[in-house]
Amino acid sequence: MSRFLGAALLAVALVPGVAGAQAFPNKPLKYVVPFAPGGPTDTFSRALTARLAEQMGQPVIVENIPGAGASIGMDRVAKSAPDGYTIGLATTGTHAINPALYGPRLTYNALKDFSPLSVAVGYINILVVNPAIPVKSVGELIAYAKANPGKVNFGSAGNGSSNHLSGELLRTLTGAPMQHIPYKGSGPALTDVMGGQLTFMFDSPSTVLPQIRGGKVRALAVTTAKRSAYAPDIPTMDESGMPGYSEAGSDLWYGIVGPAGIPRPIVDKLNAEIVKALRSPELGERLKTQFLDAWPTTPEEFQKIIESDFAKWGKIVRASGAKID
């Protein structure tokens, strides 16, 4: 009997992924953040990986690999061994915006080169204007731009950033004459909105809410389909007379991916651990401080979101004419 049992155990061990999944993880994991340390993606990632390490009993080592709009870090994930020990942070930018922005220069295929594990969190952008501009709604801003051609401009953190494309989406849907001014980061752009050099911009709550509360900028709308719990008094774009804005492409997210080809049992294990971490009260409190909303999904749901946003944001990028030379 023991001989047959031994043969059966050997057969199980030889099935690809089965034995590995049962033991997974049995060594430290690497978690790639394709952005520089200290920013919101890095802060979120360190909070998540701390929970994952505690749950799985193995260190989860964060490695920051910034550059080329996060494409260098994403390329590193895509080309890693598909064993589940290298995962990384994906964003709307890396998987929906960069493919259209960089075109054939992008060294990874956002739709084929990754194993989606789960969306992690969603976040919003808020449309703010200089308070001296005589507008109190998105409709009034559009009317003002059309009545003052050449005088309305908006800033962003740079070409292809989500706040750039939030503005391009507004311009595309309305046909209003608006000039985009790219900056090297959101901070300098917001400074110029407050100073009157820029008419408006879109940016995250962590950046603009203190300025809204201080009266230095006026909030007009949030980009999401529903009002944000972090800014419940600010209407949505649809409520502000921009029907279709949220459907055209407004949901912004961070998600977790690995290289394509990770065995399904390990994908399921990683998904379960990520979802468990996102639902933990400890991480939930951390997310609130960053104005992020937990958004756990199945791998299949995440893949559909990537495919949908790839099409939506690609259309917006092409309409804007934005590109990286």
Same domain, 240 and 148: yes
Same domain, 107 and 117: yes
pLDDT in the model for residue 21: 53
Same domain, 65 and 47: yes
Arithmetic mean of pLDDT, 185-202: 94
Same domain, 239 and 315: no
Per residue in 157-183, pLDDT tens?
887 778 888 898 898 888 999 999 988
> Mean pLDDT for the chain?
89
pLDDT surpassing 90 at residue 189: yes
User: Quick one: 23 exposed, middle or buried, by C-beta within 10 A (0-12, 13-18, 19+)?
Assistant: exposed
- The domain that contains 224 carries what CATH number? 3.40.190.10
Same domain, 225 and 146: yes
Per residue in 18-62, pLDDT tens?
444 568 999 999 999 998 888 888 999 999 999 999 999 999 999
Same domain, 88 and 139: no
- The domain that contains 54 carries what CATH number? 3.40.190.150
Per residue in 133-146, pLDDT tens?
999 999 999 999 99
Work out how many domains the chain is built from and give that number.
2
Same domain, 233 and 272: no
Same domain, 159 and 109: no
3-state secondary structure of 320: helix
Q: Which of 227, 249, 271 is at the close of a domain?
A: 249
What is the helix (H) or strand (E) element at residue 186, kind and residue range?
A: helix 186-195
How far apart (Å, rounded) are the C-alpha atoms in residues 130 and 218?
Answer: 6
